[in-house]
Amino acid sequence: MNKLNDDCIFCKIIKNEIPSIVVYEDDDVKAFLDISQVTPGHTLVIPKTHVQNVFEYSDELGATIFSRIPKIAKAIKSSDKNIKGMNICQNNGKLAYQSVMHSHIHLVPRYTAEDGFSMTWADNTDKYTSEKLQSIADNIKNNLED
Ligand code: 5GP
Ligand code: ZN
């Protein structure tokens, strides 16, 4: 059962109350061009139910949403021979750059190193012993839910 939120811009896109340029749609998922087009073909994939972020996903919702990604990613790639790669990212929470609080996955096709998309990754390899890594992993494992 899909639940939508009257105050949510992406719920309004699902209901076609706000127009969008759709690239894929089925009963559970809608994919449409991001208005900002970081690179040409930049697409958002959203669940057709109002969940804020990945922390609200059931396993079943996760399986449904993520299962659509390869099909849509391959279609974007095939649409332009200049697409050489793709960044797929999901921002969860304001601190993680989420600005629209209806969960969505960004598919950003990549053309060149200077095409408008970038990511910064710190490399802290030297700061972690294997014991420290094991303790972090154990803590995560202890928090896995059935
Ligand atoms: P976030 O920063 O939450 O990960 O990404 C939200 C994305 O939604 C942004 O890239 C922004 O351009 C896009 N966006 C916001 N409002 C609209 C809209 O009304 N239509 C479309 N197509 N994209 C939107
Ligand atoms: Zn919503």
Residue 2 domain flag: no
Ligand 1 centroid to Cα of residue 135, in Å, is: 37
Q: Which two tokens stand for residue 100?
A: 């629209």
Ligand 1 centroid to Cα of residue 125, in Å, is: 34
Query: Sign of the C-alpha dihedral, residues 17, 109, 88, 94?
Result: negative
At 22-44, the pLDDT tens digits run 999 999 999 999 999 999 999 99
At 48-86, the pLDDT tens digits run 999 999 999 999 999 999 999 999 999 999 999 999 999
Residue 137 domain flag: yes
- When the pLDDT of each residue in the chain is averaged and rounded to a whole number, the result is 97
Residue 103 domain flag: yes
Residue 34 sits in which domain range? 9-142
Mutate to test the pocket of ligand 1, among 99, 103, 104, 106 (most ligand atoms within 8 A of CB): 99
- Can you give the CATH number for the domain in which 75 is found? 3.30.428.10
Residue 1 domain flag: no
Query: Looking at the predicted structure, is the pLDDT value of residue 45 above 80?
Result: yes
Pairing of strands 105-110, 85-89: antiparallel
Residue 19 domain flag: yes
Strand order in the sheet with 105-110: 22-25, 29-33, 43-47, 105-110, 85-89
29 C-beta neighbours (distance < 10 Å), count: 22
Residue 81 domain flag: yes
Indicate which ligand has the atom closest to the C-alpha of 44. 1
Task: Specify the ligand 1 atom closest to the Cα of 98.
Answer: 3
At 118-138, the pLDDT tens digits run 999 999 999 999 999 999 999
Residues classed as catalytic: 104
Task: Specify the ligand 1 atom closest to the Cα of 91.
Answer: 4
Residue 3 domain flag: no
Q: What is the pLDDT of residue 1?
A: 61
Residue 4 domain flag: no
Q: What is the pLDDT of residue 2?
A: 83
Tally of domains in the chain: 1
